[in-house]
Structure 1
């Protein structure tokens, strides 16, 4: 064994050594559909105006740590209830990591739970924070298995349960009543986190329900709305709970260029919402066209992507890659 191998064995956690890196394939030259991004840029006039705004950003200073202006715009433009604030993150990945770190314990291993299949970062962030992850399989139609979820909550007493709404990678909205049952089953022993990354396309949200459920967190990202490149996520919760999460958030975690770009975009959120509406129309057209193909099943989606079952998945994937898709 070499020196560097011994060093890694002696210093790096065994579970980290056993992990693979989060691999993002190079999509240069391809029609890129795998990251569920908004394919539309801002109109040319707004891009020029944004360029001028970014040119005025003060790069030699750290960001204003309160992010007060940006947070006020998010609350005002994106439906955060009155009296509630938000915490900002470097993408929703950091928001998930903040939550996982906050619920991790030193006296025992906390449990983080989610229906599966789910966004991979729920499990990955749980593992990195030193928590156990419990996945509860969805039903065959990808709906939430309420009975199984409630049984798993009773058995494992999770500190946090992530519910993606719509779900990634299935695209469907779970039944709202089933989600409320999960939130209420957690009571004062667990936090329910509703991940609304695809809310611009779903037109359905738990944000307005925050005052009804003190153990509820709603998290979102600006990535799917059309700002994936600036990496900005946010979450809202009861003020006392949000205060605890803020203790885990690194200082200056959102850079000044992201801050300026997000503030500008929120001043023109109607443009982004119109793009989301156009994508919803395209989703419907694509869904209908795919469903007309022999042997193809298209599952209902309220996100900006479709889950499709085909007779030969490997062959279809190979053909798409050969066609640079």
Structure 2
């Protein structure tokens, strides 16, 4: 009997489900926390001209370093910190798991949270420890500290704000978790994917208290900035730490086209800042409107999404989809998310369509 090439693929990989991306053809797309605003026509033309001049016959070179320096200026990089690029935050998460793959190492994160934290641990053969949030989606500090003391995780992820709950956790609690991790040499990764929509950034903490944050890496993405299709993530932290993780990065992980798009966007950061301000304004209006719908409970949001609890998540999801509105049904991701949908904040027109469709669905 001949052997099958499938025998060469790990059984746990064969048992996994691939990351699901919903078909959004012809739909009002409110499922993936994207910026709903396209580039203005004049900037589209300007970007097209820039991309047309890119030397795509060459491997990425000095232009990547120019992007790094542009990001250093954009974030006002604190003294003593380094910055590295990733092909989106997903690659950075994978590189962290690879770099911390010591015998018996584990990765810890609150749940519900971003699925890639657990997936990166599994793919690297590391133990993943998930610690449930409280019923109101706050960090369970006692449970987090107990898990950290038991497992001494190499990496503890703190999403700030969290996905899919969209809330910022208590800063004092996070500070105490960082102190705990520092005691056994663990890294704490603050994931600020939704920073453009949040009232607070942990970068201010790093700048004000560098010694207290010596074990902290801060991760961001340009996806929520407005470049979801460009796939640029970056990570900030003490130079020595960033230097070691950067060794794992493939040499040409960021394409010249992606880098040029990002440079162009940073040159017009005011346009994206205005878009973020519009999204924050629309978020406030959307939450207020949702509050008055019978049977609907929206949760506080510091991101470009709103988590809502409805009487029947699957029924509401199906009814919205039938009306051409695509949202994310997160009700089966974790018991705390029972009957919950995640709604991306769209344009005023998209949000109005969402509300009308949700009223019909209910």
Identify the TM-score tier after normalising by the shorter chain: over 0.9
Tell whether the 8 Å contact from 1:171 to 1:300 is kept in structure 2 after alignment: yes
Q: How does 1:101-140 map to 2 (within 5 A)?
A: 101-105=98-102, 108-140=103-135
Structure 1 residue 306, shift from structure 2 partner: 0.3
Structure 1 distance, partners of 2:199, 2:71, is 17
CA 277–115 in structure 1, closer or farther in 2 if over 3 Å, else same: same
Q: What stretches of structure 1 move > 3 A for 4+ residues in a row?
A: none
Structure 2 distance, partners of 1:271, 1:15, is 45
Tell whether the 8 Å contact from 1:65 to 1:251 is kept in structure 2 after alignment: no
Structure 1 residue 65, shift from structure 2 partner: 6.2
**Partner in structure 1 of residue 185 of structure 2:** 189
Tell whether the 8 Å contact from 1:80 to 1:208 is kept in structure 2 after alignment: no
Tell whether the 8 Å contact from 1:81 to 1:208 is kept in structure 2 after alignment: no
Tell whether the 8 Å contact from 2:106 to 2:155 is kept in structure 1 after alignment: yes
Structure 2 distance, partners of 1:17, 1:241, is 34
Deviations 1:149-202 (A, max 9, x none): 001000111000011000000000000111111111001421000000000000
Structure 1 distance, partners of 2:148, 2:250, is 31
Q: Does 1:13 align with 2:3?
A: no
Structure 1 residue 209, shift from structure 2 partner: 2.8
Structure 1 residue 66, shift from structure 2 partner: 7.8
Structure 1 residue 109, shift from structure 2 partner: 2.9
Structure 1 distance, partners of 2:265, 2:80, is 23
Larger CA deviation: 20-29 vs 171-180: 20-29
Aligned residues: 320
Structure 2 distance, partners of 1:22, 1:137, is 22
Q: How does 1:88-167 map to 2 (within 5 A)?
A: 88-105=85-102, 108-167=103-162
Structure 2 distance, partners of 1:249, 1:109, is 23
Deviations 1:199-241 (A, max 9, x none): 0000311113332311000000000110001000000110000
Secondary structure of 2:303's counterpart equals: coil
**Partner in structure 1 of residue 314 of structure 2:** 314
Q: How does 1:212-231 map to 2 (within 5 A)?
A: 212=211, 213-231=213-231
Structure 1 residue 68, shift from structure 2 partner: 1.7
Structure 1 distance, partners of 2:306, 2:2, is 48
Q: How does 1:32-43 map to 2 (within 5 A)?
A: 32-43=29-40
CA 165–125 in structure 1, closer or farther in 2 if over 3 Å, else same: same
Tell whether the 8 Å contact from 1:65 to 1:252 is kept in structure 2 after alignment: no
Structure 2 distance, partners of 1:66, 1:154, is 44
Structure 1 residue 18, shift from structure 2 partner: 1.4
- Alignment gaps of 5+ in structure 2: 326-362
Tell whether the 8 Å contact from 2:63 to 2:256 is kept in structure 1 after alignment: no
Larger CA deviation: 32-41 vs 12-21: 12-21
TM-score normalised by L of structure 1: 0.96
Structure 1 distance, partners of 2:105, 2:176, is 21
Structure 1 distance, partners of 2:77, 2:255, is 23
Secondary structure of 1:86's counterpart equals: strand
Secondary structure of 2:26's counterpart equals: coil
CA 264–32 in structure 1, closer or farther in 2 if over 3 Å, else same: same
Tell whether the 8 Å contact from 1:217 to 1:237 is kept in structure 2 after alignment: yes
**Partner in structure 2 of residue 82 of structure 1:** 79
TM-score normalised by L of structure 2: 0.86
**Partner in structure 1 of residue 339 of structure 2:** none
Secondary structure of 2:305's counterpart equals: coil
